Structures are given as C-alpha cells and as structure tokens.
A = this chain, B = another copy of it.
Amino acid sequence: MKIGVFDSGAGGLSVVKSLLESNLFDEVIYYGDTARVPYGTKDKNTIIRYSLEALEFFNNFDIDLLITACNTVSAYALDEMNAQSNYPVVGVIEAGVMALENSSIKKDDTILIIATRATIGSKRYQKSLEELNYSNIIALQTGLFVPLVEEGIFDGEVLDATMRHYFSNIKIPKAIILGCTHFPLIGEALQNYFNSKPILIHSGDAIVEYLEGQYQLSEKRERANLKIFASDNVVGLREIAKYWL
C-alpha cells in the first residue's frame, strides 16, 4: 500500500515514525506545507483552502490513501478533501478517539486534550468524546508547545514554566490526548509534570491501529520507502526528518 501523509509542516514526521515502524506499508510520500506553517493559529477557510491545494500535490503520485497527520487539518478539512479525491483521506482525530476507547481509561476518568487554538476551537475531539459518554474532559489550547518543539526544547526551564502556565489550575488527568503532531516530542516531560503518569494518546500510533482495523494490511519485513517533499525549504525538512525519525 502506497500512502500519502499531508502535514502543515514538519510535525507530521512524528506520525511517519509510527507508520515506518509498523512495517505495514510499501511507500510513504510526505508533503509538508512548510511555506505556510503553522495552520493551528489560522482561520477555518484558510485551513480548508490550503488542505485542498495539497491534494494537487498528491496528484503527482498514485497513492492508495492519504493521512492528514496535522490535527488542525483533520479537524476542519477532512470532508472537503474526501469530496475532492478518488482515494480515502483519513484524519488523526477519529483514530485518537478510538485509541482512547481501546485503552484502560474509564468514562469518568479525567481526560486532557491539548492542541492548537484552531483544533480546540473546532471542538472535534470534545464532541467525539462526549458522544462516547466521557464525562470529565478538559480541552486546552497549548499553542506555545509548538514553537518550543520546533526550537528543539523538549525539557528544561522554559518548557517547565510553559507547562505551569497552562496546567497549574487543572485537575490531574488520567489520559492526555496529544492533539498536535509536535506534542509526542514532549510526551515524557508531560508525564513527568503530572505525577499521575497519564496515558498518552499519540496520533501516529493511533492511526496505525486505526488503519489495521479498517484495511487488510499484512505485516511486511521491510520498512516503507519514504519520500519527503515540502513547499518551502525541503533540505531543512529532510534534516529534521533525520533527527526525528
């Protein structure tokens, strides 16, 4: 199976990592819109427009399936993208919610959703969890974690201060939904911040689990072949990929 991965920038590489490690795919074509990143601070219409433009990029490749690694794209543009493509476009939000369902988390456990302003504003995670009768949901925009991760800050004083800024007044969660592709890189710091060692819901692992449930995928012996493209500096993105993957 040849799959495309679309992301607003470099963050989706955390999803690619899970895809490669699964050994379930033949080829992964990654496209990051690094010239216009980030999406998570922008308007709904802009997010939809950019996401539809990304489909044009994938016209050059004969993909079987497209994953929108970016949670903000998954929150706003999935229906529009599916309407304009002849392959399925799958987002990470539904996958993340399913991963929570398959975990040991109970319906009245406290669940913390952290994501960009746009993703939280869409209420997509919140509504999905409410429909499944989760009763203790905290949804927080934690946009500052994005530039911190992009600066390579995964621990230390600035991250600690930023976590206190966002979390000092909330209930201790049993699970954290990492609702942005950058956040797995601070997963350990988040678990250390909350002494409860919450379960982390990771979009990359969730989407692999989700695709295994939806499609007949057979494990292969080899890692998928990975090709990386970007709308801005592709050399820079390939450097980041070496480090992240």
Enumerate chain A interface residues (CB-CB to B < 8 A). 34-37, 41-43, 46, 143-144, 146-148, 150-151, 153, 156-158, 160-162, 164-165, 231-233, 236
B residues in contact with A36, CB < 8 Å: 35-36
Which one of B46, B153, B162 contacts A232 once the chains associate, using CB atoms below 8 Å? B46
Q: A156 to chain B: which residues have CB within 8 Å?
A: 165
Q: Which residue of B lies closest to A145 (CB)?
A: B147
Copies in the complex: 2
Whether B143 lies near A151 (C-beta < 8 A) is yes
B residues less than 8 Å from A164 (CB atoms): 157
In the bound complex, what is the Cα–Cα distance between A35 and B35 (angstroms)? 11
In the complex, which residues of chain B have a beta carbon less than 8 angstroms from the beta carbon of A143?
147, 151
Residue of B nearest to A151 (CB): B144
Contact pick for A148, options B144, B146, B157, CB 8 Å: B144
A118 to B: closest C-beta gap in Å: 11
| CB-defined contacts of A165 to chain B, threshold 8 Å | 153, 156-158
User: Contacts A46-B35, A46-B232, A46-B233 given: A41-B150 contact, CB under 8 Å?
Assistant: yes
Q: List 13 A-B contacts (CB under 8 A).
A: A35-B36, A35-B42, A37-B41, A42-B232, A46-B231, A46-B232, A46-B233, A146-B147, A157-B161, A157-B165, A158-B158, A160-B161, A161-B161
CB pair A43–B232 under 8 Å, yes or no, is yes
Set B144, B146, B151: member contacting A158, Cβ < 8 A:
B144
Task: List 10 A-B pairs, minimum CB-CB distance, nearest first.
Answer: A161-B161, A43-B233, A158-B161, A147-B147, A157-B161, A36-B36, A46-B232, A35-B46, A158-B165, A43-B232
CA distance A151 to B144 in the complex (A): 8
> Which residues of chain B are within 8 angstroms of A231 by Cβ–Cβ distance?
46
Residue of B nearest to A161 (CB): B161
CA A34 to CA B47, docked complex, whole Å: 12
Task: Determine the distance from Cα of A211 to Cα of B37 in the docked complex, in whole angstroms.
Answer: 34
Please, which residues of chain B bring their CB within 8 A of the CB of A41? 37, 150
